[in-house]
Amino acid sequence: MVSFALLTSIVVSLVTKRTPKEQWFYFWKFFASLVLIALVIAWIMYPFPAR
């Protein structure tokens, strides 16, 4: 999950932002969002296991 977030964030930050500084900050923001949202959703689903 973290590696997926890393690779996706690199591409998205390079495509959407212009300056290296903006790309850097957006990369961390996007990466953190992906990881944190995934963890939050995982905990929300925790009480409802598949089996």
Partner 1 sequence: MAETAQKTGAHPGVAANLWYLSVLCLLGWMIPGAAHMLLKRTKRSLTFFFCIITLFFWGLNLGARMWHYEPQQPLTFFAMVAQTGVGVSCFAARVIASYAQSHPAFSLYNFASRFGFGEGSIRTITFEYGNTFTWVAGLLNFLVILDAYDIALRRKE
Residues that bind partner 1 (CB under 8 A): 3-4, 7-8, 10-12, 14-15, 18
7 or 40: CB nearest partner 1: 7
Taking alpha carbons only, the member of 31, 26, 32, 28 closest to residue 13 is 26
20 or 25: CB nearest partner 1: 20
Is 22:47 a contact under the CB 8 Å cutoff?
no
Cβ neighbour number for residue 9 with a 10 Å cutoff? 20
18 or 21: CB nearest partner 1: 18
Q: What is the DSSP letter of 2?
A: H
- The nearest distance, CB 47 to partner 1, in angstroms, is 20
